[in-house]
Amino acid sequence: MKIAFHLFVHCSLLVFVSCYGYDPLENALKIQRSKRTIPNHVTKEDATVGNSYTPVYVGPKDGLKEADKISELPGQPAGTDFDQYSGYVTVDPSHGRALFYYLAESPVNSSTNPLVLWLNGGPGCSSFGNGAMMELGPFRVNADNTTLSHNKYAWNKVANVLFLESPAGVGYSYSNTSSDYITDDVQTAKDSYTFLINWLERFPEYKTRDFYIAGESYAGHYVPQLAQLILQNNKITNQTVINLKGIAIGNAYVDDETTYTGIYDYFWTHAIISDEIHEGIIFHCNFSEGATRTDACNDYQNQAFAAKSNIYFYDIYTPLCSSFSKSTPSISGFDPCTENYVHGYLNTPVVQLSLHAKPVQWESCSDFINSHWKDIPFTVLPVIQDLMASGISVWIYR
């Protein structure tokens, strides 16, 4: 395998669910807990993305790659020695639905290095702002909100990395049909597949390249579901065959029971909640599939999050942004105000112009998409098992 997987992530002192770029998680967990108060029987078929093939839309490609090339990002540091592209790929012309991407090619061996698609989770969080600008992309936004610095842990040192804002309504991605912002796992996988088919027409040099999909948090759903759809369609369509070699999911949301058990065990073992709250959750909560959440269980879960208070959810040893200073540095080296810097940078008109993005109010995550998500399969472990049986590489890390 050509990718140096040991370089694939640098998130210091990771906590149990995600790297640092995903604010609405606590709210999302509460929403999902409320959805689980009634029995939720999800079969293996429910967790998959469907077994029937519908020909995907393929739009025009002429001149689009050249138009998408970024001449220079505002404030980028000297010595930037790789090509960058960004823009929109239409996935549904009748609805006016288009997904935004950012490609950071490798500074060396870009013509032979693999292609990696990165997806952040949510549902509803930006792969560009969170993934590229805060985690694994080539740049970090400095505290002045206007200049960039190199990220020494950038993944594009070993692969060409493609960041996709998905679904529509996330980051710079959009639809002219407002009902598209009420979506689900299945439609997200279909749109991502349509994006890839069209993107590969725009960048045909990648059609035969080794291809990997990676992501974090709720991308524990996105990544395996998209991979499964690719493998299905590779067999039954005469369109582009995507050369999928493997997937990697980090701190991934793949199964409700282990997610909730793990969260409260982590709270307890790190002195965030008391013995009494933890024991109350153990005694009153059944997180297994189909179980009904009792009022007592919900009460103890609410007590747990109240006890957590305003501790930074993704790195409990990091100061809050409001109290962060040189005199109180983060143990992990992460600046908890980073999201503020990214927000300021990506909402600057000259930056949006350089990215070929629509002049919109960019947000790290969409609360609307998160709270209106139509389906949350209890588990995607059956999908992951199918992928393991298919022969592609599957890596789950935390």
245 contacts 2 by C-beta, under 8 angstroms = no
Q: Helices 381-390 and 219-236 meet at what angle, rounded to 10?
A: 40
Mean pLDDT by 10 residues, the chain (398 residues): 34 33 47 43 50 76 94 96 97 97 97 98 95 96 96 97 97 96 96 97 96 96 97 85 96 92 94 97 93 93 94 84 70 85 97 97 95 92 96 94
Rounded to whole angstroms, how far apart are CA atoms 82 and 24?
33
List the helix and strand counts (H, then E) for the chain. 12, 10
Rounded to whole angstroms, how far apart are CA atoms 204 and 262?
43
Token pair in block for residue 218: 């709720």
262 contacts 83 by C-beta, under 8 angstroms = no
DSSP letter assigned to residue 36: T
CA neighbor of 313 nearest in space, from 251, 382, 370:
251
Task: Determine if the pTM surpasses 0.85.
Answer: yes
CA neighbor of 366 nearest in space, from 28, 135, 11:
28
Q: What is the pLDDT of residue 184?
A: 95
- In the chain, domain spans: 5-397
Q: What CATH superfamily is the domain 5-397?
A: Alpha/Beta hydrolase fold, catalytic domain (3.40.50.1820)
Q: What is the pLDDT of residue 39?
A: 34
Q: What is the pLDDT of residue 126?
A: 97
What value, to the nearest 5°, has the Cα angle with vertex 242 and ends 240 and 244?
Answer: 170
236 contacts 53 by C-beta, under 8 angstroms = yes
Rounded to whole angstroms, how far apart are CA atoms 67 and 38?
50
